[in-house]
Amino acid sequence: MTIDDDIVLRTRDGVTELIVNGVFAMDSAEVSSELALADACLPARRVLVGGLGLGYTAARLLDGGVQHIRVVELSAALVATARAGATEQLGRLASNPRVELVVGDIADAVTPGWDAIALDVDNGPSFLIHDHNAALYGASFLARCLAALNPSGKLLVWCESPSPDLEVELRRLARDVRVIVVPVFRGERSFNYAIYVASSQA
């Protein structure tokens, strides 16, 4: 189904695909990196998630015992589709009292008091779906996220491929940085997705 001018949600052969701005964003056939992103947040009580997608990261956080999950999603139409139960998982998230779905830009939605902030709003700095998201990988926004974390909190950034420049910036700003590489196989093709995990200075 076409959700709005930028977003298409479609199901083929039992696989749900999310297309954003004409670019494949994700599908339900391969979600290992979305689950790895959630797992790297744990343990945590309060998690801020940038980007709803098909809801796999937020659902994994729920299953991991997180008490409050705020998901900030730029597309009002995608949030409305979730609230309408377009897929079983999106409907589960929308109806769960521990999940807060917020329409907005994560760049304007970072507030203090999070055990983890997980950013999965684009493909990473090297392959942007929306050009305006470039600022999300810059020093100013990364520093704001780190400052908003509780002591021992973590900032996590999902990328469709390793980003050395992003790693350098995070190492300059954070107390500690580690990189989780998630091998993904689609047919005969293989990819290495990367999740950057940066610890707060406190």
Q: Point out which residues pair with 10 in neighbouring strands.
A: 17
Q: What is the pLDDT of residue 201?
A: 67
CA distances 79 to 90, 173, 183, Å, are: 9, 32, 29
Residue-wise pLDDT for 53-87, tens only, equals 999 999 999 999 999 999 999 888 889 889 989 88
Which tens digits make up the pLDDT trace of 78-125? 898 899 898 889 999 999 999 999 999 999 999 999 999 999 987 778
Provide the b/e sequence for 134-145 (b: ≥16 CB within 10 Å): eebbeeebbbeb
| Global pTM value | 0.92
Across the chain, what does the average pLDDT equal? 90
> What are 72's strand-pairing partners?
50, 102
Do residues 171 and 177 lie in contact, with contact meaning Cβ atoms separated by under 8 Å?
yes
Q: Please compute the mean of the pLDDT values over residues 160-179 and round it to a whole number.
A: 94
Question: pLDDT class for 4, splitting at 50, 70, 90?
Answer: low
Average pLDDT for 178-191 = 88
> Domain 29-199 belongs to what topology?
Rossmann fold (3.40.50)
User: Sheet containing 15-20: which strands, arranged edge to edge?
Assistant: 7-12, 15-20, 23-27
pLDDT, mean of residues 133-139: 89
Tens digit of pLDDT for each residue in 10-48? Answer: 888 888 888 877 777 778 888 999 999 999 999 999 999
What is the model's pLDDT at position 58? 98
Quote the CA–CA distance of 59 and 87 in Å, as a whole number.
13
> Is the per-residue pLDDT at 6 higher than 80?
no
Q: What is the pLDDT of residues 185-201, one digit of tens each?
A: 877 888 899 999 999 86
Q: What residue segments make up the domains of the chain, in order of their start?
A: 29-199
CA-nearest of 107, 160, 111 to 134 is 107
